[in-house]
Amino acid sequence: MPELYERSSRLLSRINLILAVLGACVLSVIALIIFFEVFSRTFLGVSRLWVIEVAEYGLVYLTFLGAPYLLEKNQHVTIDLIYDAVRSGPKLLLAVFNNTAGALLCLALAYAGLQVVLDQAATGVREASVMAPQKYWISLIFPGVMLLMALQFAGKLLRTIVQAKGA
């Protein structure tokens, strides 16, 4: 494959790994604050209202931070029943269809997500919760991650086509 593709692929892989590590850090913070909340309630009789809300927002970010890495490593949720039952020729067509559909869907979601984030930022809408953060801070992760996943699907599509030509 051309050098530009290889360099781009390595850069994308590094970004995916960094996001996955950030996701692991978010998970650690969630576990830590929940532990301290349980400890505080049990032994000190004190409860902090923000803990559950921060954990909920963290879970949203955690999900999206890990998704591109899992897609790159083929560890995402798939339905292999049909794919495993077909021969190599139809498998190639299924892989091309899957990667094309995935890239297009993720691009559409990235665009729609960006529109939502921009609208939320422009209107200043806030969450109806204790902390009342601006909603765009919660939605901000979505468009970027969807774009990364679209690029990941596009890379998988290119690899599938190149492998098919070489076979």
Structural domain of 121: 3-166
pTM: 0.87
Residue 75: the pLDDT is 82
- Count the domains in the chain: 1
| pLDDT band (50, 70, 90) for residue 1 | low
Whether 167 has a pLDDT exceeding 80, the answer reads: no
Cβ(90)–Cβ(82) under 8 Å?
no
pLDDT in tens, 21-47: 999 999 999 999 999 999 999 999 999
**DSSP letter string over 41-97?**
IIII----THHHHHHHHHHHHHHHHHHHHHHHTT-S---HHHHHHS-HHHHHHHHHH
